[in-house]
Structure 1
Amino acid sequence: MRRRILPAAAGLGITAVLLAVFGLLFSSADPVFAAYVTRLTTAPEWAESLPLRIVLFAVFAALAAAVVLVALRPVADPVGPDLKVPVNRAVWLVPLTAVNLLFAAFVAVQITALFGGDAWVLETAGLTYAEYARQGFFQLVAVSVVVLGIVAVAASVIRTERRERWVLAGQLGVLCALTMVVLFSALHRLDLYTDAYGLSRLRLSVEAAVYWLGALFALVLLAGAGRLAGRGSAWLPRTVVLVTGLALGVFAVVNPDLRVAESQVAVRGVQKLDSDYLGDLGAEAVPALNRLPEPLRSCVLADVVAANELSRPDPWNGWNLARAEARALLAEHPVAEGGTCPGHR
């Protein structure tokens, strides 16, 4: 084997040296020949992202193969060690009761604000509905995340007898139910703010996250009810992963940038549009932005074309449906050049 490899390697090395020497000489002697050599030795633009594409392809291929393997050869769920410890009832009953009372008081205030409307908010808090919606939204989402942690710790650490088990499950169930109302309040605040200023990428993403958290709490309540009925809850982690994957798929199908553009145009109107923000949206927003009046349409779409590089075709391995549809639409209705762009913000 070595007798064959070494001569072949030596021949390839000599060939490379000779081609490099003569190629450089010919290139310096003839500009036309040099141009051809440059084209042959210059990597195309899509090759710059080729390593990342290969890595992503390998990762997703491995994930798909793992899913198929588990589906074909299901395995038994591993049983972890029992980490539960006996805890005096007062240690967990008093804090959970106090927290539930606090949540109930907050929910009562939220219901009053919900049915009281704009006049109640102005009279009580001295805020507009938009200001009321903006304040405290992320705090409410953080509250729900903390509650998930409390439920996970209490369910996995505290060891209870049969009667105490029902009491603990009731406390945690009430806490989860009240937290779902808090999430609804946060979603209502976001809807109020969206009605005033339209959707944005951040608002739409947070709205999707709130729905996802609500689904998680519903699954936790089902798992708790199942455990009280004597059934296992080993299905919960897999279901959470499944729901998360489905949520990501639905979020992509919703087409966020298109929804943002439609909402901004519908809510803010032409006179109050933030053209700089709309110009940073993706190619998915082109159908909505194409309906704007001139010269605002051309100004915004020119920024979208520049931001998404729609002025040139995608490489063969970078084709995208939204970008292709955007290019076709812009070919039918070209962007006007040389116009004066109004200073909409």
Structure 2
Amino acid sequence: MIPLFWACAALVAFTYAGYPLCMWLRARVAPRPVAVDATRPLPTVSAVMPVHDGAAMVAAKLANLLALEYPADRLEIVLACDGCSDATAAIARGVGDARVRVLEFDRRRGKASCLNDAVAAATGEVLLMVDVRQRLEPGALRALVEHLSDPGVGAVGGQLRFEDPDTGFAAGVDAYWRYESAIRLAEARSGSVVGLSGALYAMRRSLFRPLPAATVLDDVLVPMQVAASGARVTWQPRAVAWDRASRSAAGERVRKVRTLAGNLQLVQLAPWLLDPRRNPLWFRFVGHKMLRLAAPWALLLLGLAAMALAPRHGFYLACALAALAGLALVAAAPRLPRLAGLAPVRLLVAFVHMNLFAAQAALAFVRGRRLHLW
């Protein structure tokens, strides 16, 4: 039990502290700044936006994209309607701007298939990948294109931030994303990031490779394909997309379980990701993505080992009691708003729920034959 306890403790510690520390040290010791070339002319850009039943949001999103601080004659929008049963396509066409092109597909096939078709129809040198829900800051596209002026950069992601995160679970989600953003920044400053936000990233169209139709995490597989081609995948915190955090664990659960199950699916679709000879970002992919799927099971074994050892040593008893107290605190937090508003508590709530979601992701992956349908 003692070796099991410490092995699990080491895995959890490396997953959430050791790996981020490795990236931070690498960024400090051997930084790789992006070589921005302000003299390069702005490239033509195709904003690619797959949508399923987005009638309530599509008009606002198109207005947001058309208002970006970028030359109008160098920007087009390709909207792909994935078997929409509402008025998404009609609303998009009603915008009345020649820069908006609508691809309408009668059958719902999933985001990856729509991305493949939309990219094939795009004409821009750069692809701007966006979702319908988030609002982009006016200068977001220019900030992304700035990184692409470095010929060694193949893709660059923007930062996802949350509007008006309140106390409780939404604040915990916001704290989690700040932690995630810090890791991505360290990865970018030391080389490449292993995943981008589907809400906002840009890439050279020449580097896009068609995705398997069932792909869930295009925003991880696409950057990994870019990195495998020899180009860097960077992150630009000045390019911001605004979203709203889930207000409850139930609301966040559906999205997060699907995303985490998508990481398992990636290994199934692209087994080369686990081959250090073929994946130049192997250490980062395992450290950032795969270990988080193992962490909840390590935490479970850690707790069981602590309880088994508790009668024999006070240290393990203290660990077991601390774990039980933490779980009790998480259970009580929704009923005690003042308690839930404390930073340590909301971080603990987010940590526990994210690991619960990761544990559920394995089951969702096994069951998820239609996981790619958003």
Structure scoring higher RCO (CA < 8 A, sep ≥ 6) equals 2
Check whether TM > 0.5.
no
TM-score normalised to the size of structure 1? 0.20
Higher-Rg member (1/2): 1
Which has the larger share of strand? 2
